[in-house]
Amino acid sequence: MPLNNNPPKKKKELFNLIMRKMINENINQNRRKFIKWGVASATVFSAFRFLLPSEKKKAPKTETVKMLTREGNLVEVQIVALPPKKKKITNKELQNWILGKHI
């Protein structure tokens, strides 16, 4: 006679209970791993943000403006090289400036 006195139904319930418990523990472990990896990746990304040079520290780009010369050539001039704003010229002065034509 077998030493096991439990009827088959109780064995099945016990097995199902143990399996559910193992699955729940596995889910909890997966959640913990997910949270740990999330915190670790956020830490690494924030560390890279502070350690890598930012764009503000890079050399400033020189800004240029396209201007037309008297001869009709288009040239780029740095904004820093231009004098501060003065009064606007009149249409007559502009017409006289272009190739010395007097209109």
Could you tell me if residue 20 is inside a domain? Answer: yes
Looking at the fold, whether 20 and 47 belong to one and the same domain comes out as yes
3 belongs to a structural domain: no
Which pLDDT does position 75 carry in this prediction?
Answer: 93
pLDDT digits (tens, 9 = 90+) for 16-51: 888 788 787 777 777 888 888 888 888 888 887 777
How confident is the model over 36-95, as pLDDT tens digits?
A: 888 888 888 888 777 776 666 555 678 899 988 878 889 999 988 888 877 888 888 877
Report whether pLDDT(13) > 70. yes
- For the full predicted model, state whether its pTM sits above 0.75: no
Q: How many domains does the chain have?
A: 2
- Do 15 and 51 belong together in one domain? yes
Buried b / exposed e across 24-63, counting CB within 10 Å, b at 16+?
eeeeeeeeeeeeeeeeeeeeeeeeeeeeeeeeeeeeeeee
Specify if 14 maps to a domain: yes
